[in-house]
Amino acid sequence: MVDKYEYQYGMTRPGLGSVGSYQVAGHPFLKVIDPLALDAETAVSFPTVTRSILIKNTTDIPIKIHFATNTSPQLAVTNDHYWTLEGQYDSIEMKVKCTKIFITPAEANGGCEIFAELTHIPATEMYDLNVANREGISLAP
């Protein structure tokens, strides 16, 4: 039986180390999150592994972008593993591979727009960034 991701003529599916998957334009993914709840992180899951992510703050309320949850034991925000978008139109473009990001507003009613380029690599191929003690993501200082 042929793997459902296997292509014709015996070619296998792309994987995390497949350079070509990151060199070509990605499949678009768009999402608007408005409003964000006070002190509640919002998780955004991608259907496949990302090639790049652009996040734009749509309000004057600062938002924090992180790759692990702020709940125990990861505590990404508590341990200063986040990027802050300070005000309206502030944005960040990240050329990263991941399948999930977290967004936490400083106050209620924050908002953002997300544009991601997705590869054809299944999300199940990606290692989990949302674990405790991953340096630069969730490791306690």
- Residue where the block lists tokens 């544009």: 115
In contact, 111 and 75? CB cutoff 8 Å:
no
Residue pLDDT, tens place only, 75-120: 999 999 999 999 999 999 999 999 999 999 988 889 999 999 999 8
Give the chain's domains with CATH numbers: 8-125 (2.60.120.770)
The model's pLDDT over 30-59, given as tens digits with 9 standing for 90+, comes to: 999 988 887 689 999 999 999 999 999 999
In what helix (H) or strand (E) does residue 55 lie, and over which residues does it extend? Answer: strand 48-57
- Contact between 108 and 79 under an 8 Å Cβ cutoff? The reply is no
Cis omega before residue 122 (within 30°)?
no
Give the mean pLDDT of 5-31.
73
What is the value of pTM for the model shown? Answer: 0.86
Which amino acid type is present at position 51?
Answer: R
Query: Please, are residues 61 and 106 in contact by the beta-carbon 8 Å criterion?
Result: yes
